[in-house]
Amino acid sequence: MKIEKIFKKLGITGVKTKKSGALEISSPIDGNIIAYVKKDSKASAENKIKKSEKAFLSWRDVPAPRRGELIRIFGEELRKNKEPLARLVTIECGKILEEGRGEVQEMIDICDFAVGLSRQLYGLTIASERPEHTMQENWLPLGTVGVISAFNFPVAVWAWNFVLAVICGDSVIWKPSEKTPLCALACVNIFKKAAKAFGKSAPDGLCEVVVGGPDIGEKIVNDSRIPLISATGSCHMGNIVGPKVASRFGRSLLELGGNNAIIVSNKADIDLAVQSILFGAVGTAGQRCTSTRRVFVHNDIYEEVFEKLKESYQKIVKTKIGNPLSDGTLVGPLIDKRAFDDMQSSLKDATEHGGVVFFGQRVIIGRNENAYYAQPALVKIKKQTKIVCQETFAPILYVMPYHTLDEAIKYNNEVMQGLSSAIFTTDVREAEYFKKYSDCGIANVNIGTSGAEIGGAFGGEKETGGGRESGSDSWKNYMRRQTSTTYFGAEKPALAQGIKFDT
């Protein structure tokens, strides 16, 4: 499918002609410019915020199960547009088509989840200490939600936020990554079709997109008309966003960096472990926040596991790196030159601190000098050095030995990020012990660190930001909680804590 055809299918128009001041969007597949996308000015962003605010005021009055119906239709539209949208994801961010499709499927899944949830926005009834009083908790729509998303999941992470916010009665203003605005434009068009089919009660402005750099992001972040900012990206970005939102007493939901580890016990099924490590470390060219970056292998099996990993890496390096749209490719390009340079500098640092690096070099695909493909790198290293403790957003896997489980868990927890973790073991005692003491938001047993389902709450501790998105009770982020006490007696109501106040 040609890019023009994809644009047409997804209703993206007017992006082929060069405009001054527009974002130049290039595909990491070959480095060529594919579109020019107009940036928002402060004034146009202001208009969009106003539109979102207005949309919220009518949308909050639509009953939640009806709001769910809109998301049901959106899910249907996504099913119809799955292939072109998956292709656009691949073209704009470089992940392999299979993973592009997976990302759109993740959107469809969260729609289904949200539809059911739209009839289950339950509050509590609470026992009152006073006679003839009832107490309850009401969950009410919150307002306009600001969503800031990253290039590596250009559609799914927005969808987690968007569809939950919509069933909760909120409107959303979205600032996608500057690298992937086309995906955002496509999502808005798909949503518009759903809104049209739903009818008049879906107001304009439920789904706004602002395109631009940090200045536009800052405008949203600082705006007290936006009660919640949900931001996905680096710890550095979170460090800017979090305090700014806090300073205006807004809420933030942060999903930031990860430096995820897998522990391979001497009681592990080794082949199972190797398979999962590969997907976690090499999949998405190491550009997921859940990517596996560190592996701790029990000393008794360290050499064996390392050799098996090396063999698998060798196969991938030989035949599986290439155009992410082609069948059989497992490793596509890095997003840009900067990502490649960061990867190289981390590998250099690892070498200087006792690591032995296998693979990790640049690969030229076609004659594309402006595309940055890299062999996934495998690093044999004894200790967790400073660079190992940093998140490099590239396919680098540091493999280190351990002796006791306590030691391995200590290493797992030693980094500043706390997103995902996993253990491979057939010993239930080890598995449960690990789950109890891993300090991460995700702790898996016999599956890898990446590729979470939408049904669970997604996010992590420490510098990962503490937010929880997607499944479980994450919807509560998008509503405000109200406690309500009602007196239904006819006499003078009692005061709480037994206080007497007789006049």
Q: Which is nearer to ligand UN1, 136 or 234 (CB)?
A: 234
C-alpha 76/C-alpha 66 separation (Å) is: 16
Q: Which of 157, 190, 261, 408 binds ligand UN1 (CB under 6 A)?
A: 157
**153 near ligand UN1, rule: CB under 6 A:** yes
Q: Are 458 and 440 in contact (CB under 8 A)?
A: no
Element (H, E) at 302: helix 302-319
C-alpha 14/C-alpha 34 separation (Å) is: 12
Q: Which is nearer to ligand UN1, 73 or 331 (CB)?
A: 331
Q: Which is nearer to ligand UN1, 288 or 468 (CB)?
A: 288
- Encode burial over 97-115: b for 16+ CB neighbours within 10 A, e otherwise: bebbbbbbbbbbbbbebbb
Active site residue 389: no
Map the footprint of ligand UN1 across residues 72-91, applying CB under 6 A. none
**96 near ligand UN1, rule: CB under 6 A:** no
Q: How many CB atoms lie within 10 A of CB 461?
A: 15
CA angle 389, 390, 393 (to 5 degrees): 135
**152 near ligand UN1, rule: CB under 6 A:** yes
We find the least distance from the C-beta atom of residue 152 to ligand UN1, in angstroms, to be 5
| Binding characters for ligand UN1, 275-304, by CB under 6 A (x = yes) | -------------xxx--------------
Number of residues that bind ligand UN1 (CB under 6 A): 11
We find the least distance from the C-beta atom of residue 238 to ligand UN1, in angstroms, to be 12
C-alpha 62/C-alpha 479 separation (Å) is: 15
Q: Which of 289, 430, 463, 469 is catalytic?
A: 289
We find the least distance from the C-beta atom of residue 262 to ligand UN1, in angstroms, to be 14
Distances (CA, A) of 472 to 15, 422, 440, 453: 39, 20, 17, 11
Q: Which is nearer to ligand UN1, 240 or 270 (CB)?
A: 240
Within 144-295, residue ranges assigned H as helices are: 156-167, 181-198, 214-221, 235-247, 270-282
We find the least distance from the C-beta atom of residue 255 to ligand UN1, in angstroms, to be 6
Active site residue 168: no
Q: Are 193 and 291 in contact (CB under 8 A)?
A: no
Q: Which is nearer to ligand UN1, 98 or 407 (CB)?
A: 98
| Binding characters for ligand UN1, 104-133, by CB under 6 A (x = yes) | --x---------------------------
Q: Which is nearer to ligand UN1, 14 or 455 (CB)?
A: 455
Map the footprint of ligand UN1 across residues 201-240, applying CB under 6 A. 232
C-alpha 194/C-alpha 177 separation (Å) is: 24
**434 near ligand UN1, rule: CB under 6 A:** no
Count CA within 13 A, CB hemisphere, residue 368: 23
Count CA within 13 A, CB hemisphere, residue 301: 21
We find the least distance from the C-beta atom of residue 123 to ligand UN1, in angstroms, to be 29
User: Which one of the spans 150-158, 162-170, 201-209, 365-373 is the region binding ligand UN1 (CB under 6 A)?
Assistant: 150-158
Q: Which of 92, 103, 255, 463 is catalytic?
A: 255
| Binding characters for ligand UN1, 447-476, by CB under 6 A (x = yes) | ---xxx------------------------
What does the chain come to in residues? 503
C-alpha 442/C-alpha 77 separation (Å) is: 31
We find the least distance from the C-beta atom of residue 289 to ligand UN1, in angstroms, to be 4
Q: 92 is written with which tokens?
A: 């704009």
User: Which one of the spans 125-133, 149-157, 161-169, 202-210 is the region binding ligand UN1 (CB under 6 A)?
Assistant: 149-157
Distances (CA, A) of 48 to 66, 155, 207, 371: 24, 20, 10, 35
Contacts of 8 (CB under 8 A, 6+ apart): none
Q: Which is nearer to ligand UN1, 51 or 288 (CB)?
A: 288
Q: Which is nearer to ligand UN1, 35 or 278 (CB)?
A: 278
Q: Are 94 and 27 in contact (CB under 8 A)?
A: yes
Map the footprint of ligand UN1 across residues 352-411, applying CB under 6 A. none
Q: 191 is written with which tokens?
A: 């949503």
We find the least distance from the C-beta atom of residue 63 to ligand UN1, in angstroms, to be 31
- φ and ψ at residue 310, rounded to 5 degrees: -60, -40
We find the least distance from the C-beta atom of residue 450 to ligand UN1, in angstroms, to be 4
Task: List residues near ligand UN1 by CB under 6 A.
Answer: 106, 152-153, 157, 232, 288-290, 450-452
Catalytic residues: 255, 289
